[in-house]
A and B are shown apart, each in its own frame.
Chain A
Amino acid sequence: MINITAVKITTFTEEGAFVFESTFEQSLNIIRGDNGMGKSTLVQAIFYGLGQEELLGGKNSKFVQSCLTQAIEKDDGSYVTAHGSSIEIQLCNGKDDLTIKRCAAVQGRDDRLVELTFGPLLTKPDVGYRKEPYYLHDGGGATNKSYGFHKRLEEFIGWELPMVPATGGREAPLYIQLIASAFLIEQKAGWSNYLSTIPYLGVSESKKRVIEFLLDLDVYRVELKRKQNDADLERHKNNWKSKYEDVERLVAADSISILGVKRYPHVDFDRNDAHLIIETESNILTLPDYLDHLESELIKLNTLISPKNYEVNAELEERLEQSAQEIHTLADEENELRSLLALEYAQKQETNNGISDIKSQIEKNEGARKISKFGAEIDSDTLNGVCPTCHQQIKDALLPVDIAALPMSIDDNIVYLKNQKKISEAYLSSCETNISTIRQKLESNRKRQKELRGDVANIRLQLVRDPRLPSEVHIRDKIKLEDEIIRYKGFISSFDRVVDEFGSLYDGYMKALSDKKGFSKDGLSEGDHKKLSYFSSVFRQLLTKFEFKSCDIRFIKISNENYLPIIDSSELVNVTLRNDSSGSDFTRVMWAYTLSLALASKEYSANHPLFIFMDEPAQHAVSNENVRELFKQLSISGCQVITANSFSNSDGVFEEQTNGVKFKLIRFEGKLLKPSVV
């Protein structure tokens, strides 16, 4: 939790300092100031002092009112030049006090510098408090423990902000500025939608994440687990693939292939069915069988006495002829394979380009679809498919008039493009398979050629040697056979090892797969459902008290999907309450939502700071009784609430809206900033 206990604004001018100073109660505080007197200045100064000016639309002092940074208007209507301001805010978290001091547009002082004093500097001034400088908006502002102001503020509030999914597959912290949009409601944009001033910081579904955090829903942790699970699956897949490819590389050149194991984990994997197989001229054998065959060959060779040259010359002549023939065929095949490979590469490149083109087309179309659908909300002929001049159908298309083609609707077009993408992707993967098969063939082809060339050279040499010497070619054959046996034995043992590893990967993969099924669809735990239904019921009670009329309150609830109010009845399913409410009724919805969020969080001791700031809550034509009811509910909420109001510049309205409500009034007569009296 957090409270503001005091605020002090000092503006430095040519005529000395102008000051505003006030303390705040722990319950309802009403700031009353007539229009044009500096109420917004105070509101903005508080946002700025808390480092939350991004909710006002930007960073640093550019976005705060000019009177803090340029010139201030005095009570008599004349202006005096300002040389910047300092804003001090004293906070209490129920245990410790902290005073923030931040300057706006003071020469020689960086707007991003925030000076923290660890003590109640405003209510009990003392020079003995510890002071430390911190930085804001500095890249490391939210994460750098030693200097980041937001990080320090989080710790002071007692938050530990989770890492959440962000755009581009990254993770980002749930920045404090995002959360603040749920309880700091600014008057210009803050009332137009739920959390409408939430800044864009790359966090995906940021509003949802904020509500989950404030209510401390388990769904967030479930989501983390789900992501972990996805990552596990992905890891198993990649491990599997890299192991598979290791084996594939090892055996590729020997026309050996893998049977019973696929490139990616598959549920029907059985380690007893996994074999290396070899293709010989006559048939297909498993490698151990082939090895047996080779070993018996070797034994046969060993029992024979090596023949002499003159005995084998005729045989060698024939072998020479055969080998030369085979080399010729292999060379032809190699050429063919090379041109095939080049072709496949070119096709792969082209398909890749095509896919990225389609992707960007899809993105553009999806953007266009959003704008086109928006046509229903704003009054636009063209976006609704009608020419604004002649009222003929144009169907969102810009084709020349004389082309009579019938274009697809944008939805169909997106579906069409997505299908195109799928087709291209399927084609791409077939290209990749082809490439790897061709390369494998090329490699064994080259290996065989090399072998044959060696043979030919040896035979030629032997033919011109002394015919009485033993046949070297036959000795070489024997050695080659021995080498082959050793190598294949190596293959078999490393394959057995890898199959063992496949076995354990398979177990991990199957477990991750069954875990994946265990996640409930909406990801909400039982506790989450309880919290949300409590949230809904408080929200409905408050709507009743605020006299919400746009529809039957009984059918309103908080959505389990985005945690925003929806109407869910037999006729209307999942209609957002925002579209279906009148202007003033939506103001009531915003009051009830903001407050019930805090109350629900309080009930379950979740993460809401129990601090609410409402700038000019009396939006649209809400009645004085409604506003009084709001103040009453705020005053008994148990939260610290600060609200700034103009009360239509009238004492009567003020009387009517606050009658019977307990609160601390912060009233400034005339201008907010007064010359300081020393």
Chain B
Amino acid sequence: MRFVKKPIHLPVNYRFSYQLSIIILIIQYSCQKNVGSSTLKLQLLAWALRDEVGCESLLNRLKDKRTDRKFSFWALDPSLNRAIEFALADGFISIKNEKFHITDKGQKIISKIDNERAFLEEILTLKRFGKSLTESFVNDVLRNNND
């Protein structure tokens, strides 16, 4: 008897090309140019893109600024961390002051996405967050969550 390995369906967040696009889109649309993004911020926004309900509650939390407001659980995605490492090694993003920035090579991905009109839904969501979601907000959310 012989067993042949059949290829399995891979959820899209295990695709490097998807996660790379997400990382770059987050830095582009939701971070100040000179600030860049921390790993946690990437994780938080990537989660918001995965989880519709979570996304709305995060938006609400961002709107009314009240720190006492409890915020529902958010989850880290280990595959995003792997994607960040690959993206760094391949030179799509760089590190400065512990924050990630888009390199020229990464910029090419942005224009490719623009040209192809890909990831419209993701971009729309990120634009709703805009650049007002700051690093200190990310830390707030994290602290709140742990209480």
| A364 in contact with B12 (CB, 8 Å) | yes
Do A400 and B89 have beta carbons less than 8 Å apart?
Answer: no
A397 B7 Cβ-Cβ under 8 A: no
Are B90 and A398 in contact (CB-based, < 8 A)?
A: no
Residues in chain A near residue B30, CB distance under 8 A: none
> Which residues in B have their C-beta under 8 angstroms from that of A372?
15-17
Report if B113 contacts A (CB, 8 A): yes
With the chains together, A652 CA to B37 CA distance in Å? Answer: 51
Known A408-B7, A409-B7, A412-B7; contact A389-B89, beta-carbon cutoff 8 A: yes
Among A361, A388, A405, the residue within 8 A (CB) of B89 is A388
Q: Known: A383-B16, A408-B8. Is A360-B86 also a contact (CB below 8 A)?
A: no
Interchain CA distance A378-B87 in the complex, whole Å: 14
B123 CB to closest chain A CB (Å) equals 10
Residue of A nearest to B78 (CB): A400
Contact of A407 with B105 at beta-carbon distance under 8 Å, contacts A382-B20, A387-B86, A398-B82 already known: no
Closest to A401 in B: B82
Query: Bound complex: CA of A412 vs CA of B15, how far in Å?
Result: 13
Q: Which of A371, A375, A381, A416 contacts B113 (CB 8 A)?
A: A371
CB neighbours (8 Å) of A412 from chain B are 7
Q: Which of B13, B118, B122 has the most CB of A within 10 A?
A: B118
Contact pattern, A 399-419, Cβ under 8 Å of B = 1, otherwise 0: 110000111111011001100
Given A368-B12, A407-B10: A200 and B117 interface contact (C-beta under 8 Å): yes
Question: Which of B79, B89, B117, B121 is within 8 Å of A382, CB to CB?
Answer: B89
From A364, which residue of chain B is reached at the shortest CB distance?
B12
Establish whether residues B21 and A367, one from each chain, have CB atoms under 8 Å apart when the complex forms.
yes
- Collect the chain A residues with CB atoms within 8 Å of residue B119's CB: 364, 367
Asked if B14 and A407 make an inter-chain contact with CB atoms under 8 angstroms apart, the answer reads yes
**Bound form: Cα–Cα A24–B109 in Å:** 41
Q: A380-B105, A398-B82 are in contact. Are A371 and B20 (CB under 8 A)?
A: yes
Q: A176 an interface residue at 8 Å Cβ cutoff?
A: no
Tell whether, in the assembled complex, residue A410 and residue B17 are in contact, meaning their CB atoms are under 8 Å apart.
yes
B83 at the interface (CB under 8 A from A): yes
A158 to chain B, nearest CB (A): 32
Q: A380-B90, A407-B7 are in contact. Are A371 and B17 (CB under 8 A)?
A: yes
Distance between Cα atoms of A413 and B13 in the complex (Å): 13
Is A366 interfacial (CB-CB < 8 Å)?
A: yes
Give every chain A residue within 8 A of B65 (Cβ-Cβ): none
When the two chains form their complex, are residues A383 and B82 in contact, meaning their CB atoms are under 8 A apart? no
**Contact mask B75-116 → A, CB, 8 Å, 1/0?**
000110011001101111000000000000100110011101
Which residues 1-26 of B have a CB within 8 angstroms of A? 5-21
* Cα of A333 to Cα of B7 in the assembled complex, Å: 47
B14 touches A399 (CB 8 A): yes
Given known contacts A374-B112, A406-B7, A407-B8, A397 and B86 CB-to-CB distance under 8 angstroms:
no
Which residues of A lie under 8 Å from residue B87 when comparing CB positions? 382
Question: Is there contact, CB below 8 Å, between B10 and A413?
Answer: yes
Given contacts A374-B109, A407-B10, contact A398 B121 (CB under 8 A): no
Instruction: Give Cα A361–Cα B92 distance, bound, in whole angstroms.
Output: 24
Residue among A382, A397, A416, A417 with most chain B CB within 10 A: A382
The minimal Cβ–Cβ distance linking B126 to chain A, given in whole angstroms, is 14
**Nearest CB of B to A502, in Å:** 42
Q: Is the CB of A365 within 8 A of B18?
A: yes
Q: How far is the CA of A372 from the CA of B50 in the complex (A)?
A: 20
Q: A200-B117, A368-B17 are in contact. Are A381 and B90 (CB under 8 A)?
A: yes
If A371-B20, A381-B90, A396-B17 touch, whether A365 touches B117 (CB-CB below 8 Å) is no
Docked CA distance A378–B105 (Å): 8
- Give complex CA distance A416, B6 in Å: 13
C-alpha gap A656/B79 in the complex (Å): 60
> Which B residue's beta carbon lies closest to that of A380?
B90
A221 within 8 A of B: no
A507 within 8 A of B: no
Contacts of A406 in B (CB 8 A): 5-8
- For A517, list chain B residues within 8 Å (CB): none
B12, B112, B117: residue with the most chain A Cβ atoms closer than 10 Å = B12
Task: Verify if A394 is at the interface (C-beta below 8 Å from B).
Answer: yes
Task: State whether A398 and B8 are in contact (beta carbons under 8 Å apart), knowing that A368-B21, A382-B87, A389-B89 are contacts in the complex.
Answer: no
Q: Does A468 contact B (CB under 8 A)?
A: no
Chain A residues lying within 8 Å of B6, measured Cβ to Cβ, are: 406
B7 to chain A: closest residue by CB: A408
Beta-carbon nearest neighbor of B117 in chain A: A200
Name B14's contact: one of A374, A397, A417 (CB within 8 Å): A397
Instruction: Verify A397–B89 contact, CB threshold 8 A.
Output: no
With a cutoff of 8 Å between Cβ atoms, the chain A residues found around residue B83 in the complex are 398
Q: Which A residues are CB-close (under 8 A) to B10?
A: 397, 399, 407-408, 413
Whether a CB of chain B sits under 8 angstroms from the CB of A230 is no
**A326 at interface by CB-CB < 8 Å:** no
Q: Which of B5, B7, B16, B108 has the most CB of A within 10 A?
A: B16
A122 to B92, CA, bound (A): 52
Cα-based distance from A530 to B14 in the complex (angstroms): 50
Q: Is the CB of A368 within 8 A of B112?
A: no
Determine whether the beta carbon of A365 is less than 8 Å from that of B15: yes
Contacts of A417 in B (CB 8 A): 9
**Cβ 8 A contact of A408, one of B9, B19, B86, B116:** B9
Which residues on the A side are within 8 Å of B90 (C-beta)? Answer: 380-383, 388
Q: Report the bound CA distance from A363 to B49 in whole Å.
A: 13
Q: How far is the CA of A410 from the CA of B15 in the complex (A)?
A: 8
Contact partner, A413, options B9, B82, B112, B121, Cβ 8 Å? B9
Among the listed A360, A378, A398, which residue makes an inter-chain contact with B79, where contact means beta carbons less than 8 Å apart?
A398
Residues of B within 8 A of A369 (CB): 17
Residue numbers in B under 8 Å from A95 (CB-CB):
none
B116 touches A370 (CB 8 A): yes
Which of chain B's residues have a CB closer than 8 A to the CB of A410?
15, 17
Which single residue of chain A is at the shortest CB-CB distance from B114?
A200
Shortest beta-carbon distance from B102 to chain A in Å: 14
Looking at the assembled complex, report how far the CB atom of B41 sits from the nearest CB atom of chain A, in whole angstroms: 19
Tell me the bound Cα distance from A366 to B122 in angstroms.
13
A370 near B7 with CB under 8 A, answer no
B142 to chain A: closest CB distance in Å?
A: 23
Q: How far, in angstroms, from A216 to B60 measured CA to CA in the complex?
A: 51
The 5 A-B residue pairs whose C-beta atoms are closest, nearest first, are A367-B118, A368-B18, A372-B17, A398-B79, A407-B10
Known: A372-B15, A407-B14. 18 other contacts (CB 8 A): A200-B117, A361-B12, A364-B119, A365-B15, A367-B18, A368-B12, A378-B105, A378-B108, A380-B90, A381-B90, A388-B86, A394-B16, A397-B15, A398-B15, A398-B16, A408-B8, A408-B10, A416-B9
B residues bordering A, Cβ < 8 Å?
5-21, 78-79, 82-83, 86-87, 89-92, 105, 108-109, 112-114, 116-119, 121-122
What are 9 A-B residue pairs whose CB atoms fall within 8 Å in the complex? A367-B119, A370-B112, A374-B108, A382-B90, A397-B15, A398-B86, A399-B79, A400-B78, A405-B8
